[in-house]
Amino acid sequence: MDYLEEKQVKSGIVALIGPPNVGKSTLLNGLLGQKISIVSAKPQTTRNKILGIVNGDDYQIVIIDTPGIHNARSPLNLEMVKLATDSLSEVDAIIFMIDTTFPLPEKIHSATQHLQNTKCPIILLLNKVDLVEREKLLPILDAYKALFDFKAMIPISALHQDGTELLMKELLQILPEGPRLYPQDIPTDVTERFIASEIIREKIFHLTSQEVPYSCAVLIERFKEDEKKIAINATICVERKSQKGIIIGKQGAMLKQIGQAARLELKELLGINVNLKLFVKVQKDWSKDTRFLKEMGFG
């Protein structure tokens, strides 16, 4: 069938934005029914735009998961916020997601300022309502209603997928009709190579503490696939020598633990055996190095 002759469906692009650590990646993975975006209890885990494609018989919703909007200072964090706010242009709808277990800080008002000049409908998602007493939810709704004129306000639990049917119903009412923007059988436009680097980075977030995960970048140096396995060589870049020691661990124990955890998940995600080799090097102050950030895909 010629692409231009493809039947019309509900089709459009939706930006998923909000402060850090509110559950955006958990929501996207749940809507897709598979993991494409890494998840951590630590804030600001997502660094890049992750595109998820939710397909149905009569719809295709392209959702852009973005880094958390926050008051950024370093070049890396400034690029992350720019990725998020740039996603607000030329989309058909925006999902603004918040965590109802957080108090209502002033920075939420700052985050909503990015919405002021947008012309498309905006849905407010109030996540983790399963952790909030019902009588406390109404004042939260009223507070956000006073901040911005949202098209809809939907309480959900992204972890348990409660309320996501209401979200899908609302999106399908908003989105225009048109052809599918991507083939119906793919859930994302990111490469397996990118997914591998993200899974390794996720395990660093899970297994190390304090500032160490934020000081790590993962470069895939080799990604070779044959019929039986995928061979991956990855370099973990850290900013200081002391961080290199933490990542490697005593007699290499931490690096081995990171590698084992990443290898098991990659095998499950990719459906093939994975031979993963990890290396660690010091790339001094890489998060402030604009040349290195460009190599990582920023800017």
User: Is 183 within the bounds of a domain?
Assistant: no
Say whether both 150 and 237 belong to one domain.
no
At which of 178, 211, 239 does a domain end? 178
Say whether both 39 and 155 belong to one domain.
yes
Q: Distance between CA atoms of 139 and 229, rounded to whole angstroms?
A: 54
Extract the tokens encoding 131: 């952790």
Q: Distance between CA atoms of 85 and 67, rounded to whole angstroms?
A: 9
Residue-range definition of the domain harbouring residue 264: 192-295
Say whether both 285 and 156 belong to one domain.
no
Say whether both 163 and 128 belong to one domain.
yes
Question: Is residue 23 pLDDT above 50, yes or no?
Answer: yes
Say whether both 153 and 251 belong to one domain.
no
In this prediction, residue 86 carries a pLDDT of 63
Q: Distance between CA atoms of 255 and 242, rounded to whole angstroms?
A: 14
Q: Distance between CA atoms of 244 and 90, rounded to whole angstroms?
A: 42
How many domains are there within the chain?
A: 2
Extract the tokens encoding 90: 């030329």
Say whether both 7 and 135 belong to one domain.
yes
User: Is 273 within the bounds of a domain?
Assistant: yes
Question: Is residue 134 pLDDT above 80, yes or no?
Answer: yes
Say whether both 153 and 68 belong to one domain.
yes
User: Is 186 within the bounds of a domain?
Assistant: no
Tell me the pLDDT band of 80, cut-offs 50, 70 and 90: very low
Say whether both 54 and 162 belong to one domain.
yes
User: Is 49 within the bounds of a domain?
Assistant: yes
Mean pLDDT in residue range 241-256: 95
Extract the tokens encoding 210: 């304090």
Helices (H), ranges, 68-156: 75-86, 106-112, 134-147
Question: Is residue 76 pLDDT above 80, yes or no?
Answer: no
At which of 132, 156, 178 does a domain end? 178
Q: Name the percent of the chain lying above pLDDT 70.
A: 82
- Amino acid letter for position 297: G
Residues forming beta bridges with residue 232, ordered by sequence position: 223, 276
3-class state of residue 55 by DSSP = strand
Say whether both 168 and 208 belong to one domain.
no
In this prediction, residue 174 carries a pLDDT of 94
CATH number at residue 219: 3.30.300.20
Question: Is residue 20 pLDDT above 60, yes or no?
Answer: yes
Residue 206 CB partners (closer than 8 Å, separation 6+): 40, 261
Q: Distance between CA atoms of 99 and 78, rounded to whole angstroms?
A: 22
Tens of pLDDT, residues 163-209: 999 999 999 999 999 999 889 888 988 889 989 999 999 999 999 98
pTM metric for this prediction: 0.79
The single-letter DSSP state of residue 88 is: T
User: Is 239 within the bounds of a domain?
Assistant: yes
Q: Buried b vs exposed e over 94-123: b needs ≥16 C-beta within 10 Å?
A: bbbbbbbeeeeeeebeebbebbeeeebbbb
Q: Distance between CA atoms of 43 and 158, rounded to whole angstroms?
A: 16
User: Is 187 within the bounds of a domain?
Assistant: no
Q: Distance between CA atoms of 68 and 82, rounded to whole angstroms?
A: 10
The single-letter DSSP state of residue 151 is: S
CATH number at residue 81: 3.40.50.300
Say whether both 168 and 201 belong to one domain.
no
At which of 178, 204, 231 does a domain end? 178
| Consecutive H or E run containing 197 | helix 192-207
Say whether both 109 and 240 belong to one domain.
no
Residue 205 CB partners (closer than 8 Å, separation 6+): 38, 40, 42, 45, 213
In this prediction, residue 77 carries a pLDDT of 47
Tell me the pLDDT band of 44, cut-offs 50, 70 and 90: low
User: Is 144 within the bounds of a domain?
Assistant: yes
3-class state of residue 122 by DSSP = strand
User: Is 75 within the bounds of a domain?
Assistant: yes
Residues forming beta bridges with residue 282, ordered by sequence position: 238
Residue given tokens 């952790």 in the structure block: 131
Q: Distance between CA atoms of 55 and 29, rounded to whole angstroms?
A: 13
Q: Distance between CA atoms of 33 and 36, rounded to whole angstroms?
A: 10
Say whether both 94 and 211 belong to one domain.
no
| Listed residue (23, 98, 97, 36) closest to 62, CA to CA | 36
